[in-house]
Structure 1
Amino acid sequence: MSKISASNSFDVGLGLEGTHVLVTGGCGLIGKIVVQAFLAAGCHVTVVDLPGTAEAVLDLEDKDHLHFFPGDITKNIDAAFTSAESKFGTVHFCVALASLDLSVLHQSDSICDMDPAVWQRVFDVNINGTFLTCQRWLQGIRRAVSTPDPQHTSPQPRFRNVGCVIIGSESGTFGVRTQPAYGAGKSAVQHGLLLALSKDAPRIYPSARVNAVAPGAVNTERMKAEAVQYGEQWRYEECEATVALGRAVEPEEVARVVCWLASERWAGGVCGVVVPVDGGKTGPVVWGREELVERRKG
């Protein structure tokens, strides 16, 4: 039996160097940090986001490592992957992050007042767009492994870090009273789609893994602005009252978990799970004290 010593070799690197990662929504407040993390890990990164979003957040001069495709995940996802494949080859790892964010969606006091058109729009983007993204990623893996390498008679060399992360939300776990479409959509992709895809992907490629990350309140510039807009009580209820760590999580904390899940070296045995990055949140605040007082009066 070998003894443990300081000279024993245990590689703690992520092992992501050379991995081609495609990130949808990579110009967003969380997405851009995810992209930075993968670039720092030595990956080739393709970013898919709406036209006009890249110039302010991406170094478009870094053509050796970064590729941007302007597109809508509900309309252009096949073209986005085709462009990515022509630039850096097969997309090994996909981060399905793009969605209509809760902060930009109209919220109503009751589902009674919700516009059905908003419900449909959220589902088109957050569910169907995520499905199309994951489907095209797996189709690309299947095509790559079934197409012989033109330089050899054997199939393509073994890929590393084959997988997908679906970015969900605490809303997919706890729901959102004022925007039920968002909660329902995130629940659909981080549970139903995740569990189906996590069983399917290894049939296409044996080591392929699919997981989800469900962030809680994230300390982005937008959240800071909302805290000013809605007040201290809102901030307290959103990211402290029911949160074990008593704070919002940082975008970098979300990005590090995504990179960890991408690493076959570190998370090669993790598949089909939702990783909550929410500081230990146990649920939303359902009733404010003043609301209960008024309710009891009625």
Structure 2
Amino acid sequence: MDLGFEGVHVLVTGASGGIGLAITKLFLEHGARVSAQYNSKPGPLDNIKTSNDRLHVIQADVTEEKAVTDLFLAAGEAWKQEAQVLILNHGIFTAEDVDLVDMELSQWDRCLSVNLTGSFLVARQFLRQLRRSRAGCGPDLSKVAIVIIGSSSGEFGEESHIDYAVTKSALQTGFLSTLKHEIIKIAPNGRVNSVAPGWVNTVMAKPLFSDPDLLRRTLAATPLRRIAEPEDIATQVLILASSKASAHVTGTNISMAGGQEGRIPPDPEDYVALKSGMK
């Protein structure tokens, strides 16, 4: 099926690895012109660029207002047109388990700055460049779409990672539900949706694969009995971003946790330890 991305300018944040890299590759396969943002290391992006002239790689810190403005200027200059599709994929996750009672303010602030404020800055600049172009000979606004990469953490919470869970919850609820009303003021057919992956086979999932018992309990709570691959997420993102496949879909958050309906069941030994501590 032709999903209508031939010649469409797609900007992907956090594109250098994992889900972001899979998304970038899939859009390229479908004929899009892709502006791929990364923060510190481009990873495989530079190698892909040498064999694909529809990829433009841009370094930018999404927490810096000027850097985000420059990101869109560079992307627009590269393709001689503004971005029509935005994939908000960037984000940070602290690997170490830290309960709220022990969490430093610096960790909290950093996570909100990257995941939440960074998404605000990028989405705002995306809409601003579309509004400016609308007055002239801008891009085809019928293709406009935003897809947010949320998380099952935003729905169920994430013990010892409250900073991450809060940012994802905000993005896939209030941010999503509000932006779907605002985007149509600029692009009448513009759509905003999100996906909420559970465990995905990326660097972030290393703790899962290094702990057989945790993996067992995770799969026991997942009806599909497997961990998602980045390509699983990328395919759903592609469909949501398509004005052909999802023309009447907006304000929707799609769970991609394999049917998981809650957090991972705790180890029974945790209850024993808790009960002992209460004596």
2:207 to 222, 226, 236: 226
- Classify 1:234/1:70 alpha carbon distance in 2 versus 1 (closer, same or farther; 3 Å): same
> Is 1:95 aligned to 2:76, yes or no?
no
Question: Once the 2 structures are TM-superposed, how far is the Cα of residue 278 of structure 1 from its aligned partner?
Answer: 1.2
Tell me if structure 1 keeps the 8 A contact 2:5–2:242: yes
1:111 and 1:242 map into 2 onto residues whose CA distance is 25
Q: TM-score by structure 2 length?
A: 0.93
Task: Tell whether the 8 Å contact from 2:17 to 2:43 is kept in structure 1 after alignment.
Answer: no
C-alpha separation between the residues in 1 aligned to 2:160 and 2:35? 34
Which of structures 1 and 2 has the bigger CA Rg? Answer: 1
Deviations 1:89-131 (A, max 9, x none): 110000010111x3x44322x3111111111111111100011
Match of 2:55 in 1: 66
Identity %: 31
The residue identity in structure 2 corresponding to 1:234 is L
Unaligned runs of 5+ in 1: 1-11, 150-155
Q: Distance in 1 between matches of 2:142 and 2:28?
A: 16
Moved runs in structure 1, 4+ residues, more than 6 A? Answer: none
Compute the displacement of 1:190 (Å): 1.1
| Deviation at residue 47 of structure 1 after TM alignment | 0.5
Partner of 2:225: 246
Pair 1:194 & 2:176 matched: yes
- CA pair 55-232 structure 1, distance change in 2 beyond 3 A: closer
- The answer for the alignment partner of 1:179 in structure 2 is 161
- Residue deviations 1:52-96, cap 9 Å, x none? 324566422246300011111111111111000001111000001
Instruction: Tell me, yes or no, if the aligned pair for 1:141 and 1:204 is still in contact at 8 Å.
Output: yes
* Offset, 1:17: 0.9
Contact kept, 8 Å, 1:19 with 1:160, in 2: the verdict is no
**Contact 2:45-2:57 within 8 A present in 1 as well:** no
- Identify which of 78, 84, 97 aligns with 2:69: 78
What is residue 292 of structure 1 aligned with on the other side? 271
Of 209, 214, 217, the residue aligned with 1:237 is 217
Name which of structure 1's ranges 158-167 and 261-270 shifts more when overlaid on structure 2.
158-167
Counterpart secondary structure, 2:50 = coil
Greater helix fraction, Structure 1 or Structure 2: 2
* Contact 1:27/1:57 (8 A) holds in 2: no
| 2:112 corresponds to | 123
Corresponding residue to 1:163 among 145, 160, 171:
145
Question: For each residue in 1:119-150, what CA deviation from the matched residue of structure 2 results, as whole angstroms up to 9, or x when unmatched?
Answer: 11111111000111111111111111122x3x
Q: In 2, distance between residues paired with 1:81 and 1:51? A: 18
**Number of aligned residue pairs:** 274
* 2: CA distance, partners of 1:146 / 1:170: 39
C-alpha deviations, 1:172-223, integer Å up to 9, x for none? 1111120101000111111111111111001111110011111110022552
Closer/same/farther in 2, CA of residues 283 and 106 from structure 1, 3 Å limit: same
Q: Would you say the 8 A contact 1:39–1:65 is kept in 2?
A: yes
CA contact (8 A) 1:211 1:274 kept: yes
State how far apart, in whole Å, the 2-side matches of 1:292 and 1:123 are.
32
- In 1, the alpha carbon distance for the partners of 2:169 and 2:209 equals 29
Q: Which residue of 2 aligns with 1:13?
A: 2
Q: 1:139 to 1:22 in 2, by over 3 A?
A: same
Cα deviations across residues 133-168 of structure 1 (Å, max 9, x unaligned)?
Answer: 111111111111122x3xxxxxx4643421111111
Structure 2 distance, partners of 1:171, 1:189, is: 11
Q: 1:217 aligns with which of 199, 205, 214?
A: 199
The reply on whether 1:134 has 2:113 as its aligned counterpart is no
- What CA RMSD, in Å, does the superposition of the two structures yield over aligned residues? 1.7
Residue 295 to residue 63, structure 1, CA distance change in 2 (3 Å): closer
Q: What is the distance in 1 between the residues matched to 2:139 and 2:152?
A: 38
Question: What is the distance in 2 between the residues matched to 1:182 and 1:235?
Answer: 21
Distance 1:276 1:210 in 2: 15
**Aligned partner of residue 164 in structure 2, secondary structure:** helix
C-alpha distance in structure 2 between counterparts of 1:83 and 1:172, whole Å: 32
SS of residue paired to 1:264: coil
Aligned-pair distance for 1:28? 1.9
DSSP 3-state at the match of 2:97: coil
Bigger CA drift: 265-274 or 136-145?
Answer: 136-145
> Structure 1 residue 228: deviation in Å?
4.4
